[in-house]
Amino acid sequence: MMTFIDEAQRPPLKTQIVIVGGGAAGLELATRLGRRFGRKHHDIILVERDRTHIWKPLLHEVAAGALDANIDEVGYRAHAYRWKYRYFHGTLEEVDTDSREVVIAPLLDEAGAEIVGRHRIRYDYLVLAYGSVTNDFSTPGVRENCFFLDSREQADRFRDHLLNHCLRVSRAMMADRQADARVRIAIVGGGATGVELAAELYNAADALSHYGLEVFDRRRLEVTLIEAGPRILPALPEKLSQAVTSELEKLGVRVLTGTMVSEVESDGMRFASGDRIPADIRLWAAGIKARPIDGRLGDLEVNGNGQVVVRPTLQTTLHDEIFVMGDCAACRLPGSDRLVPPRAQAAHQMAAAVFANLCHAMRGEAPQPFVYRDRGSLVSISRFSTIGTLMGALVGGALAIEGRLARLVYLSLYRLHLIAIHGWIKGLALMIVGRVNAFVRPRLKLH
């Protein structure tokens, strides 16, 4: 006997908010929404392709072995349970703006067998925060012969490759003390990632002699940093850019500016000038673009860099119920001729703005324009130095800082992220644990 349910008696659907991407912006937003609304009348869903989260600006430390990602990563399932949102392990394939659904690609295991089939998730509000990947600018040989630092998996692969080369050089030196064996590393891109990784590699080289590679030291490391522009770190004032260049050269880094890579080979790099340098390990960190979506994004407006164009409220140009934030958002604010830069501080501020505008929208109120506040730029040269600007445009210019104060401000960015995703109590506890681990755990992760 079939029982029919009166539609009037059917419980109303919960307001469903779908967030695609669990990076800094997406995870912070999911935390805020879960803490505010819970599960009673709202269904907050985070769709993310990875099982764990690690703050992207830390990946260069993972790559050099200075950071153990197993300690610092955040598991999405446990985090979702605590903050009352749902985590879906999957990859966005399509946004169906007509039916207000997102299509999630099939989830496969390592052998290619299907775990979860292609499925759809409805949304009342959709937030796209699926991030960015490194832009190879269609340079021949890059995809085949370079490492990237877009994910923890890629950082782990780089570290393993680096350690293997260091071990090979160490063994060669033990067999022949007169051998001139070296680990030659070429890093393309003079932005923060390339600069910080170059410095972190020398920190790693100094520590390797304590972990079984007795004859290996920084003299066996040959790092070349390659930048197509006239100087590294163009976001910093020229004086500070020169200061960072000097610090890198003191460590032993060869800095090449105004140098365009025309092709990457399996054992080196060729330049547009016709010159070539040999390189055992090649890493590409020259620019970013929005993470490509395999399917389509409905009728959303997308720029040439793959970013979704948004209004100052961070809503898409055609759909009020769709917000975009982080690196995949192309946001040009009134009075500015540039897009909001793809930086961690921008993602953090966008997460707060989208949270506020979602609250406005659900109350039937008008959304408020996003206001980007430039807090300055800081670059950590591993344990050797920290240089940058504080406050940026807020003081009508840049206040240069370096040394202990700069290091403190640099670390505070990550601490703010910890507090945003864990709350004050657990966030402060993790900071204390981090300080303890700095003393008790090995300087390098070698496995």
Tens digits of residue pLDDT in 7-38? 555 667 899 999 999 999 999 999 999 999 99
Between 175 and 227, the higher pLDDT residue: 227
Whether 444 shows a pLDDT value over 50: the answer reads: no
| Mean pLDDT across 157-176 | 84
- Residue 10: the pLDDT is 60
What's the whole-number average pLDDT of the chain? 86
| Mean pLDDT across 86-91 | 95
pLDDT tens-digit series, residues 200-236 = 898 888 777 665 666 677 788 899 999 999 999 888 8
Whether 347 shows a pLDDT value over 80: the answer reads: yes
Whether 178 shows a pLDDT value over 50: the answer reads: yes
Between 71 and 255, the higher pLDDT residue: 255
User: Rounded to an integer, what distance in angstroms lies between the CA atom of residue 119 and that of residue 373?
Assistant: 39
- Residue 376: the pLDDT is 74
Q: Which tokens sit at 293?
A: 């979506």
- The answer to whether the 13-134+289-362 and 136-286 domains have the same CATH topology is yes
- Residue 36: the pLDDT is 95
Domain 136-286 sits in CATH 3.50.50.100 = yes
Q: Which tokens sit at 184?
A: 């030659």
Whether 167 shows a pLDDT value over 60: the answer reads: yes
- Residue 44: the pLDDT is 97
- Residue 361: the pLDDT is 96
CA distances from 195 to 125, 233, 397 (A): 39, 8, 23
Whether 408 shows a pLDDT value over 90: the answer reads: no
pTM of the model: 0.88
Q: Where are the alpha helices (DSSP H) in 221-343?
A: 238-251
| Mean pLDDT across 82-88 | 96
Strand positions, DSSP E, 97-214: 101-104, 107-108, 114-116, 119-122, 125-128, 132-134, 183-188
- Residue 165: the pLDDT is 86
- Residue 69: the pLDDT is 77
Domain ranges in the chain? 13-134+289-362, 136-286, 372-435
Whether 442 shows a pLDDT value over 50: the answer reads: no
- Residue 215: the pLDDT is 67
Whether 393 shows a pLDDT value over 70: the answer reads: no
pLDDT tens-digit series, residues 50-60 = 999 998 988 98
- Residue 401: the pLDDT is 60
Question: How much of the chain, in percent, has pLDDT values that exceed 90?
Answer: 56
Question: What architecture does CATH give domain 13-134+289-362?
Answer: 3-Layer(bba) Sandwich (3.50)
Q: Looking at beta carbons, which pairs linking 358-367 to residues 24 or more positions away fall under 8 Å?
A: 358/17, 358/33, 358/125, 358/127, 358/323, 359/36, 361/125, 361/320, 361/321, 362/15, 362/125, 367/313, 367/315, 367/320
